[in-house]
Structure 1
Amino acid sequence: MKDVTPLVDGWTLRLPGDGDGGATPGRRLKAAVPGCVHTDLLAAGEIADPFLDRNEHEAAWIGRADWTYETVLPALTTTHERSDLVFDGLDTVAEITLGGRRLGATRNMHRSHRFDVTADREAAAAAGPAAGGTPLTVAFTSAYTEAERVRALVGERPNSYPEPFQYIRKMACSFGWDWGPTLVTAGIWKPVRLEHWSTARLARVTPLVTVTDGTGRVEARVELERTAAGADRPLTVRLRVGEAVTETPVPAGADRVTVLAEVAAPDLWWPHGYGEQPLYDCEVTLVEQGGDLDRWQRRIGFRTVTLDTSPDEHGTAFTLVVNGTPVFARGVNWIPDDVLPTRVDAARYRRRLRQAVDAGVDLIRVWGGGIYESDDFYDACDELGLLVWQDFLFACAAYPEEQPLRSEIEAEARENVGRLAPHPSLALWNGNNENLWGFRDWDWEDALAGDSWGEGYYLGLLARVVAETDPTRPYWAGSPWSGSWDHHPNDPRHGTAHSWEVWNRVDYTDYRDSVPRFVAEFGWQAPPAYATARRALSDDPLTTDSPGMLHHQKAEDGNGKLARGLARHFPVPADFDTWHYLTQVNQVRAVATGIEHWRSHWPVCAGTVVWQLNDCWPVTSWAAIDGDERPKPLYHELKRLYADRLVTVQPRPGGLVAALVNQTAQDWTGTAVLCRVAVDGAVLAEVRLPFTAAPRTVAELVLPPEVLPAADSGKELLTVRVGELRTCWFPVRDKDFDYPEPRWDVAVAVHPDGAVAVTVTAHTLLRDLLLQADRLAPATTADRGLTTLLPGESVTITVRGWDHPSPDAAAAALFCVNAAVRDGEAGGGR
């Protein structure tokens, strides 16, 4: 059997040359492998945390320096015929030298590399222990140097950002984005090991899993590598799936074989909310007479996934269908959870993905400016029932199709399609992010003047790689993409759409102006939690335009867009705390407006993917969970918006309706209670309407005139209640509504487990009441976001991590729209 020796310990990091940035020339630091230069420098105290204040600028030199990792391989005794040095990932441009012999060079962060070091092993063994081992050096050239070299070879290409990320196969967002810092990494970012083997090894295993007429079928495509001595030996490949075992002979000299196994009536894998997530052990063993040579193991799930792109009277559908069931995708976009991705481990992946599931999310889109995540990410998605939409790694730029990039891209694509094939959660491959749209709308076409820009990848190469490597999954050329050049790439009537005009130029109520077939990106900004901002920034005072706040706002005119978004609904905030609260409210309102509208139009609209779930550092952004892992109010709102059942009031051409969205497999029957309510809580009119919403459908109730507030009323609102669900409709914008001065009582009770129940009882209407728990203590959390109460109603918020609870402290951390509007009006927007 193959022997594996991980190479983890004994690594050092050395900066050659003149020590740019103040580092000591030639100084050696202890290096963590896997890891990167930034994390090693941080651990050694050589740099300040680039996430704090404006320290990012002070770390810029790191990305432009060349770095060297070194270790010594001890002399290893083995009877195997072959020894390989295997790097699962090098970031990015590296030359590998062993004992003074150049093994090779790399220029792609997104693929693995293998080098035959048998002769080196034998030489080291001959030299004996006294030789002290064999030096191994991995010398990294700055990613900027390589990108600029390739740009000089292939020529300029347009780009949405000022950095040259499209000329190198590296995580694009390490060069900065409109939510991320510019921290260009280098290092051995994935495991490295020695593999010793004889006769043959499993070079690649791709299990293609299908279900037909109730029978599960696994077609394991196996590629072998043989030693010279093993070239003519007959071998056997054994495939085990659960309890089913099959064996297939491999003729002498052959290096490819397909092994089939069938499982009768397998338990199907479903997205969460649709069923369970059973997983089956899948094992492939390479056997030679007399023993096992190599083994590959993963878990798989049986399910079918197709993409319905049928034309209809509305345009062209874009609906994921799992096990024959059309799915409204309740999605979020995923970016790397840390701009220094080696700090993201299996536990952190699981925390974040568990948060997604708890918010009702059933689809994660892995965005194309990041990385193919580790198997820990996809394993968690398999277990949690999260569908994965996986972008190929192209984003917001014209990508050259010439060498040396083209061959790297094909190798990268084949490796990662094969690597991810076992995961039942993987539902869709997507060619790129916004590049087809960019070609048409962002003045690229004239600038390119006929030069290549990536179309050949998205409409050719990548489609072919998926079809050849894993034909069990659908491929889509890009997002947004209408399916062909017959339609505009971002035509909402066809395929996928990105809705960014709202955030950039108009009010969020304009989301209601169209019904895209699938909304793959949309969102609204808000700052991070207060405790996150205070940890990351030393600004005194902290204001909307203090130096640190401005530095941690990477969007073009981001604060201007936030201000204009607030001005449409609220008076100018009286102070920073009010601004911080109201921007959170506006983020919630914007995303809610979009999701409620689009969900109410199922099945014409078949999914919403919020930009974005997570952050990679502390920043003002579109995220629902900030860079310190604190949920923003948007996160809690997603629990309501993505619940199996949703009640919403929607404008229709004939007037207002109550849309009752039922995404369960059972009928939803009941009585909707509609009330016109005065600002003081008095019920002015009430109507009860029975309803039935069939499984996976939306029922609409036309609202009777007697429960509708006047269109310009600032003193009445509409409530719609169905069981425990309630929604409120205010006929005018907040700055035009006659909010009373807020009054409430607060009670605090400590549970035996240490949790604190904070109960707020309203004496007046309280709109969008929010307890900002992190203002009580940085580690404190609350289980609720924005809540609207009528007079006499109460809400109990469970708070954890609060050591010294008191009603007065809780009251000081409570915010509501009433106070924000009244303070803004009274202060003239101080």
Structure 2
Amino acid sequence: MMPKVLVLLFLILSPVYSLFALDKYELNSGWKCIPITKVDKNGQAISQPTYSLSGWAPAVVPGTVLTTQLENKQIPDPFYGMNNKKIPDIYHTGSDYYTYWFAKDFKETLPQEDEQVWLHLRGVNYSCEVFLNGQKLNKETHYGMFLRQTYNITPYLAKDGDNRLAVIVYPPDPVGNPNGGQAGDGTIAKNVSHQYVAGWDWIQPIRDRNTGIWDKVIIEKTKQVNLKNPHVVTLVPGVRKPEGPQQPAIIKVSAELENPTSKKVNGVLRYTLDGHAVSQKVSIPAHSTQQISLKNLTLQNPKLWWPNGYGPQHLYQLKLQFLVNGNAVSDEENVQVGIREIQTEWNERTQSKQVNVNGQKIFIKGGNWIISDAMLRFTDARYDAEVRFHRDMNLNLIRVWGGALVERPEFYQACDKYGLLVIQDFWMSGDANGRWVDPMKLEDQWTRRKYPDDHQLFIKSAADQVKMIRNYASLAMWCGGNEITPPKDIITALQDSILPELDGTRWFIPYSNADSMSYNTIGGNGDGPYTIQPFSKFWSFKTYPFNSEVGSVGVGDYESLERFIPEENMVAPQYMGSESNPSEKVDSVWTYHTYTGVGYEQHILPYGAPTDVKDFATKAQLVNYNQYRALIEGFSSHMWDWYTGTIIWKTQNPWTAMRGQMYDYYLDPNASLYGLRTGSKPLHIMYNPVDSMVMMTNNTFDVKRDMMMVVDAYDMSGKKTALGQVIVEINPSMSKKYLPINASVQELAKDKGAFLSLRLLDLNKQVIDDNFYWLPNAQGEYNGLKELAKVSPKVEAQQVAKGKIEVTVTNPATNTVAFFNRLSLVNSQTQERLLPVFYSDNYVSVLPGEHKTITMEYTPGSDDSLPAVTIEGWNVEKQTMTIK
């Protein structure tokens, strides 16, 4: 191995390489489009720069036909009210209605000598023909939503530098009948495409099925050799901890080198990482592609990457280059590397898989992810915000559900940054692909088990997508499909050739609730339930030991509902029937946006029947908070005994739906996020509602000592009753019971309910963790809350850094509890919430004589004007504060 000082000297003395290989840019503006029905010329004619595009409309690329129509105001916003019903569905219009030409004029000078120019299309849905300057680039029609395309366009570029790219995009075939079933009639799954676009129980159909050039279009310039599909593997032997010196890690690097020229090219494949350089001489024959593996690098004292909550997310930048004759850069790729190793083992006690990272077992607390935006309007900023919300909920894993897509590199970059492990499903679902007999489906179960029609296209697409995302540290597991295995030849290819050869480092799950993941001895489908549960059930009912889907509710607050429900439809659900046979009257817009009241009524009514929609939404937040706190606390209380992990169904919505979300489509959190955040802290004190024990859970690798557990109750007037305190310690990665408070709590709460304050303090009386419950009376009613006296806490807000506000809420000692306060950062002129904003906590309660400080982080606008802060609570009137 080259000594580090010599490596640094080599870097200093190396020649200044050509920057030509760094030329890469997106074609993401200036596109034009037209329906196929309005043009009678072929691609050879349309792609000539002299062909007039007069009458063509501006197009959104990356985007879809629908996003273009929305941008051009040809359709109403399908996410608002019943607008989606006003948009023609492709099943009824026929495919030609959504078959479009897309054209883009761009400048690119004619290459010189051995220079090469490449066109990359990262995603087209569903099939297409590609033309440049009168020449057809793809000899055969391209099929498949998840298969990247690359064309060497060097011979076809115009001498004067004025070029035109033209692409005709055809929708999936078949498009599926959106008959109200999961994936409609199921036939959308005959394509190698996403399935939710024909409708699901959390979304209405996407009318064009997302036809379009939906992902990035990139022009790349290289010299003779194109360096592509780099592969970086990191090995971290032994059992590690985040802190202190580290034993070495092994770095393995390989890449494909493509020589499209008619001459053999000699050169050097070389990479640099953390001041180290590794290189190898290579000879690439003419018109060939070779995969080259470099010698391993032993990296001393590496900075490791850890899942959220367990350690930092250190990331390295690896620069990989091919140097013609050892001195001129032909091409280079920059790879973000997180040094970590993921292993799995079978936990005999729980009878489920256990995930280990860097030799340490990780208790999985995850969320199911559909897609960032149902109409595929992806941005780096939105990906970053959504993944950050998952980090802020103290989760450590996201499962990408199989009815959508292999997520984009930008998603994985955010997961690397915030420490979210990822389970990536392939494109199968039990609903569409025949797990069950289903009268909503066009074809029988046996036929659907053979979907898609083109197995080789599925296999080819899977291999391509593996290459696209395999270098990300966050990618932890592959999954064959949602609730179903792919057909035999596909799963054989995945597990026996594609993944071993192209990755080889990650666990492959045959399907999302397979026995090899979680031995489901209690029967059923291995996931759920999906409705609100009594708190006690999460603690006392033993479910699947690694549950891939368990979920609940998530209706947003009043401001959230206002964004997509017309004023005349802002009507609260009306509950009828009885406790044993509940029913309700629900507005049609709510129903269309997938509101489900099953369970909500039993949990909202103890707070009092909603008087209007705002009252309903406020009380729904109390239910949301409690549900998700109870869910994650209940599972955590049995970690490594009953469970190795759980994954919530689901944490986000890519449409304005009302079920299963911690924040709405507009990135506005509801109380679910903060209930989950509280209940999922790495070191956490909690109350078991079944046996009234105060417990603690330790999701870290260290013994925690010298802590004081302090338990107090408050009545509705704010009077405190001390229930106990005890010095505690807890071993790594475990849950433990400490203090029984059953009789005391029952007595205090029996008439009007009570508040329960649990705190974990260090020996300097500094708060390590704080958990606040509100308990019903003996009859399960929150009658005390209904009578809670109004209070006016003092609120101060100041800017502590650009884009960071600190708010302190102080409740005088003469008050009762200032209960369940929502803080919002708002535009000081319009009073509308700024979105997204990241709150250190929210829906907070402040005890008499105490204060809480909350930080708010946001992206400031172009001007320097400060926003304002509002606070509104159960017994706190809305206040607006200026920021100092």
The yes-or-no answer on 1:218 pairing with 2:251 is yes
The residue correspondences of 1:120-199 to structure 2 (distance < 5 A) are 120-121=156-157, 124-125=158-159, 129=160, 135-143=164-172, 145-147=173-175, 161-162=184-185, 164-183=187-206, 184-195=209-220, 197=222, 199=224
- Secondary structure at the aligned position of 2:314 is classed as coil
The 3 A distance-change label for structure 1 pair 532 and 710 is closer
Q: Distance in 2 between matches of 1:161 and 1:761?
A: 57
Q: Distance in 2 between matches of 1:680 and 1:4?
A: 66
The yes-or-no answer on 1:16 pairing with 2:36 is yes
Deviation at 1:89, TM superposition (A): 1.5
The yes-or-no answer on 1:630 pairing with 2:668 is yes
Q: Distance in 2 between matches of 1:252 and 1:799?
A: 55
Residue aligning to 1:510: 537
Q: Give me the identity figure in percent.
A: 20
Q: Distance in 2 between matches of 1:233 and 1:279?
A: 33
- Secondary structure at the aligned position of 2:410 is classed as helix
Give yes or no for contact 2:82–2:592 (8 Å, CA) kept in 1: no
Give yes or no for contact 1:614–1:624 (8 Å, CA) kept in 2: yes
User: What whole-Å deviation, never above 9, does each CA across 1:627-685 have from its counterpart, x for those lacking one?
Assistant: 11111011122221121222222256xx4322111223241443434456655555667
The 3 A distance-change label for structure 1 pair 400 and 296 is farther
Deviation at 1:374, TM superposition (A): 2.6
The 3 A distance-change label for structure 1 pair 248 and 798 is closer
Aligned amino acid, residue 510 of structure 1: K
The yes-or-no answer on 1:777 pairing with 2:831 is yes
- Secondary structure at the aligned position of 2:481 is classed as coil
Deviation at 1:204, TM superposition (A): 2.2
The yes-or-no answer on 1:295 pairing with 2:295 is no
The yes-or-no answer on 1:365 pairing with 2:411 is no
- Secondary structure at the aligned position of 2:501 is classed as helix
Q: Distance in 1 between matches of 2:757 and 2:219?
A: 66
Q: Distance in 2 between matches of 1:208 and 1:281?
A: 14
- Secondary structure at the aligned position of 1:499 is classed as coil
Residue aligning to 2:6: none
The 3 A distance-change label for structure 1 pair 576 and 463 is farther
The 3 A distance-change label for structure 1 pair 561 and 83 is same
Q: Distance in 1 between matches of 2:189 and 2:72?
A: 32
Aligned amino acid, residue 150 of structure 2: R
Residue in structure 2 matching 1:420, options 469, 480, 487: 469
Flag the structure with higher helix content.
1
Deviation at 1:258, TM superposition (A): 0.9
Q: Distance in 2 between matches of 1:630 and 1:777?
A: 15
The yes-or-no answer on 1:28 pairing with 2:56 is yes
Residue aligning to 1:278: 314
Q: Distance in 1 between matches of 2:66 and 2:333?
A: 34
Deviation at 1:212, TM superposition (A): 3.4
Give aligned pairs, total.
766
- Secondary structure at the aligned position of 1:338 is classed as coil
Residue aligning to 2:227: 202
The residue correspondences of 1:783-794 to structure 2 (distance < 5 A) are 784-787=841-844
Give yes or no for contact 1:89–1:190 (8 Å, CA) kept in 2: yes
- Secondary structure at the aligned position of 2:628 is classed as helix
Residue aligning to 1:500: 529
Deviation at 1:809, TM superposition (A): 13
Q: Which moved more, 1:581-590 or 1:197-206?
A: 197-206
Give yes or no for contact 1:270–1:276 (8 Å, CA) kept in 2: yes
- Secondary structure at the aligned position of 2:678 is classed as helix
Which consecutive residues of structure 1, in runs of 5 or more, have no partner in the other structure? 20-24, 437-452, 815-830
The residue correspondences of 1:517-666 to structure 2 (distance < 5 A) are 517-540=545-568, 542-544=570-572, 550-553=588-591, 558-566=596-604, 569-604=606-641, 605-650=643-688, 655-664=691-700, 665-666=702-703
- Secondary structure at the aligned position of 1:170 is classed as coil
The yes-or-no answer on 1:110 pairing with 2:161 is no
Aligned amino acid, residue 415 of structure 1: D
Residue in structure 2 matching 1:250, options 263, 277, 282: 282
Give yes or no for contact 1:600–1:661 (8 Å, CA) kept in 2: yes
- Secondary structure at the aligned position of 1:364 is classed as strand
Give yes or no for contact 2:402–2:481 (8 Å, CA) kept in 1: yes
The residue correspondences of 1:384-395 to structure 2 (distance < 5 A) are 384-395=418-429
Aligned amino acid, residue 278 of structure 1: H
Deviation at 1:378, TM superposition (A): 1.6
Residue aligning to 1:329: 364
Q: Distance in 1 between matches of 2:814 and 2:216?
A: 60
The yes-or-no answer on 1:240 pairing with 2:260 is no
Q: Distance in 2 between matches of 1:196 and 1:736?
A: 67
Aligned-pair Cα RMSD in Å = 3.9
Aligned amino acid, residue 600 of structure 2: L
Give yes or no for contact 1:481–1:489 (8 Å, CA) kept in 2: no
TM-score (norm 2): 0.77
The 3 A distance-change label for structure 1 pair 161 and 774 is farther
Give yes or no for contact 2:344–2:356 (8 Å, CA) kept in 1: yes
The yes-or-no answer on 1:741 pairing with 2:741 is no
Give yes or no for contact 1:15–1:66 (8 Å, CA) kept in 2: yes
The yes-or-no answer on 1:67 pairing with 2:104 is no
Deviation at 1:38, TM superposition (A): 2.4
Q: Distance in 1 between matches of 2:129 and 2:236?
A: 45
The 3 A distance-change label for structure 1 pair 510 and 459 is farther
Q: Which moved more, 1:717-726 or 1:585-594?
A: 717-726
Give yes or no for contact 2:520–2:544 (8 Å, CA) kept in 1: no
Deviation at 1:326, TM superposition (A): 0.9
Residue aligning to 1:432: 481
Give yes or no for contact 1:388–1:425 (8 Å, CA) kept in 2: yes
User: What whole-Å deviation, never above 9, does each CA across 1:126-152 have from its counterpart, x for those lacking one?
Assistant: xxx4xx956532111223x44469x9x
Q: Distance in 2 between matches of 1:688 and 1:15?
A: 72
User: What whole-Å deviation, never above 9, does each CA across 1:717-767 have from its counterpart, x for those lacking one?
Assistant: 565443342444556464275556110321444434376655455878669
Aligned amino acid, residue 230 of structure 2: V
Aligned amino acid, residue 420 of structure 1: I
Give yes or no for contact 1:85–1:194 (8 Å, CA) kept in 2: yes
Deviation at 1:563, TM superposition (A): 3.0
Q: Distance in 2 between matches of 1:325 and 1:806?
A: 42
- Secondary structure at the aligned position of 1:370 is classed as coil
Aligned amino acid, residue 432 of structure 1: G
The 3 A distance-change label for structure 1 pair 30 and 409 is same
- Secondary structure at the aligned position of 2:137 is classed as strand
Give yes or no for contact 1:498–1:522 (8 Å, CA) kept in 2: yes
Give yes or no for contact 2:320–2:334 (8 Å, CA) kept in 1: yes
- Secondary structure at the aligned position of 2:688 is classed as strand
- Secondary structure at the aligned position of 1:414 is classed as helix
Which consecutive residues of structure 2, in runs of 5 or more, have no partner in the other structure? 1-19, 40-52, 239-246, 434-447, 575-584, 762-766, 800-804, 858-865, 880-884
Deviation at 1:31, TM superposition (A): 1.8
Give yes or no for contact 1:350–1:377 (8 Å, CA) kept in 2: yes
User: What whole-Å deviation, never above 9, does each CA across 1:245-287 have from its counterpart, x for those lacking one?
Assistant: 2222334547122112312232211223322222222122223
Q: Which moved more, 1:676-685 or 1:253-262?
A: 676-685
Q: Which moved more, 1:756-765 or 1:529-538?
A: 756-765
Q: Distance in 2 between matches of 1:274 and 1:211?
A: 16
The residue correspondences of 1:707-718 to structure 2 (distance < 5 A) are 707-709=744-746, 713-715=750-752, 717=754
The residue correspondences of 1:761-772 to structure 2 (distance < 5 A) are 769-771=820-822
Residue in structure 2 matching 1:260, options 284, 295, 301: 295
